[in-house]
Amino acid sequence: MKKLLSLTIALLASGAANAADLSTIYQQAASNDAEIAAARAIREANSYNVTIARGALLPQAQISYSQTSISSEADSIDLVSGGYVKTDKDYDLSSLEVSASQTLFNLNSWYTYQAAVSGDDAAGLQLQLAEQQLLLRTAQAYFNVLRAQDNLSTAQAEEKAVKRSLEQTKQRFEVGLIAITDVHEAQAGYDLSYVNLLGQEAALDISYEALEQLTGQRFEDVSPLKADVAMEMPQPANAADWVQSGLDKYAGVLIAEASKDGVRLQRNAARSNHLPSVSLFGSYTDADQAPFVGDDPTDSTVTAIGVKISMPLLAGGSLYGQSKQSALNYAAADYQLEKQRRDVKQNIRSLFRQVQTDTLNIKARKQAITSAQSALEATQTGYKVGTRNIVEVLNAQKNLFSAQRDYANARYDYIINLLSLKFYAGTLNEGDIQTLNSWLASA
């Protein structure tokens, strides 16, 4: 018997040790999440836009070679005899050409290159935003599992308590202490608690599925939140400081700023399309020249160097259209930046107030559990002596379990809202994951 007990304890300890914490799950998500992997690939792909645009400003060189075999037949008049002379000639012609050019002045290419650099900055910020979103999504998925676990535990306790009340009610009815209506009321209460239990079991499965989607791995258990975690007011305690942080650091705002700058440069590039461009060019050609009848091919070499100036005179209105289009795109980018700033202000102010409310709500919900427990005990005592009915007992039980559920949800709301506040303030980082990890009970 002792060996069996020891084995059971060992198995339970093994199961607890296998519980994954938030830090472990985040590392798995960072390595396996398809969304962040796509963001990294897009970031790397966008970096080549700079290389492509810079190429138009750097020297260009080409080499070409051709080889042609010619077979000819010609009839000619012999000036001496006056007769026809047939001439057959087979020969090869080859040509080698090397050319190079260097842009000296082209504002369109220069602004296009600068726009590509700005776009690369925006792409880097897009990856930064995706990484911060991954931090937030991982924490949300993790604490949604804990929320579902707590809700399921409460539902199980409620179902068990209501079932016990139903059994006691049936016993009291059998000995004639109560009417059949009390049994029906107790049965209805139990049926509702059982339906709620089934719903919470499904919710837990769904929350684990969301975790698997992030990490590509199935988890069976996660480390729970400690009961004694101090959940304080957000610091700094001034909403204006959080708003300023968001305007300065939130990746969404920074992306909009970089995008606006890139569109401005694209507008400048479009406006410069009508300006002249200047380039330096040079070439070297070594080619065989086709001979006259009866002669052999001759070899010739040509070396050329010069400056080319070109300027569009008429393009059917396309240059004007490009200029107007780029100006409107710049106006749109300015509006989008303003929208981002307004959204950040609104989100931060709302979340700041919500986190403040959450801290007070947690304390109130905790006190509500104590009050609901006392009310249930008093109602149960009254039911035993006949001053309370079964409906009042069931309602008191429901109030207690609701208070427990609301308290657990309030704690998770605080965590998610605090992380969301830091996300929009642009300060969310892996250090926050480590801090939250310290709030979890050790396996």
CB distance 115 to 53 below 8 Å? yes
Domains delineated in the chain? 20-68+89-438 (1.20.1600.10)
Beta bridge partners of 304: 283
Mode of pairing for the β-strands spanning 277-289 and 60-77: unpaired
Digit-by-digit pLDDT tens for the chain (443 residues) are 334 334 333 333 444 446 899 999 999 999 998 888 999 999 999 999 999 999 999 999 999 999 888 776 666 666 666 666 666 677 788 899 999 999 999 999 999 999 999 999 999 999 999 999 999 999 999 999 999 999 999 999 889 988 988 888 898 888 888 889 988 988 998 899 999 999 999 999 999 999 999 998 999 899 999 998 989 998 999 999 999 999 999 999 999 999 999 999 999 999 998 899 999 999 999 987 766 555 666 778 999 999 999 999 888 888 889 889 999 999 999 999 999 999 999 999 999 999 999 999 999 999 999 999 999 999 989 988 888 888 888 888 889 988 999 999 999 999 999 999 999 999 999 999 999 999 999 75
64 alpha-carbon distance from chain centroid: 48
Distance (Å) of CA 32 to CA 26, 27, 149, 316, 373: 10, 9, 25, 52, 45
CB distance 231 to 411 below 8 Å? yes
Distance CA 269, CA 56 (A): 13
Query: What residues have CB less than 8 Å from 41, skipping those under 6 apart?
Result: none
Query: What residues have CB less than 8 Å from 229, skipping those under 6 apart?
Result: 411, 439
